[in-house]
Structure 1
Amino acid sequence: MNRVLEMERKVSKFGNSLGITMTDALRQVGLDQGDTVLIDVNKATGEIIIRKSSKVTLPNGIGEDFMDSLADVIHKYDQTLRGLKDR
């Protein structure tokens, strides 16, 4: 059962930064100190979504420049590729 837990926290000052503590929530999704997260901010709804990042290692011979080029092609031809998928 996927149950959404709601927690209320106060924004606090940590040095020169603002932040919240949410140790219990982070542990529930398997995050610990040093882990990397992805943060999505939706200004329109006031939502901040924090997700555990899954690090991907590229196979030998595949460089980041190739992946950047591939991402550009996928973005440019997104609708065409979606159409091919449904054939």
Structure 2
Amino acid sequence: MAMTERRITKIGNSLGLTLPNDVLKAMNVKKGDEVQVELVDNQIVIKKVPKMIPLPDGVPSDFFDRLEEEMEAHHEALKGLVDR
């Protein structure tokens, strides 16, 4: 994707910028979607917030947090299974 320059504009009482359509399409972001904005090493990182789905009865609310922790803890073993 080619680099593009944008101008910071006034939006209400805030400042903001618009994003090119090709960037929004590549991120699969549409009007009304939520994004996370983070400053990393003096660069702005924008990520689409995944939509949450309701968990089935009996599944604890921290299920995905625990799953992610386990996947990180066993990353190398899980990666090895992919190659089999």
For Structure 1 versus Structure 2, the TM-score category normalised by the shorter chain is 0.5 to 0.7
Structure 1 position 9 matched with structure 2 position 15: no
Offset at residue 9 of structure 1 (A): 1.2
Q: Which consecutive aligned stretches of 4+ in structure 1 deviate over 3 angstroms post-superposition?
A: 38-42, 48-54
The partner residue of 1:34 within 19, 32, 35 is: 32
Task: Answer whether contact 2:37 2:47 (CA < 8 A) is retained.
Answer: yes
Q: Aligned residue for 2:71?
A: 74
Aligned residues between the structures: 80
Q: Aligned residue for 2:56?
A: 60
Structure 1 position 50 matched with structure 2 position 46: yes
TM-score normalised by the chain length of structure 1 = 0.57
| Percent of aligned pairs with the same amino acid | 29
Offset at residue 21 of structure 1 (A): 2.1
Structure 1 residue runs without a partner (length 5+): none
In 1, Cα distance between equivalents of 2:3 and 2:21:
9
Letter aligned with residue 35 of structure 2: V
Residues 41-76 of structure 1 show CA distances to partners (whole Å, capped at 9, x for unaligned) of 5427x3x44344442425513333122211111111
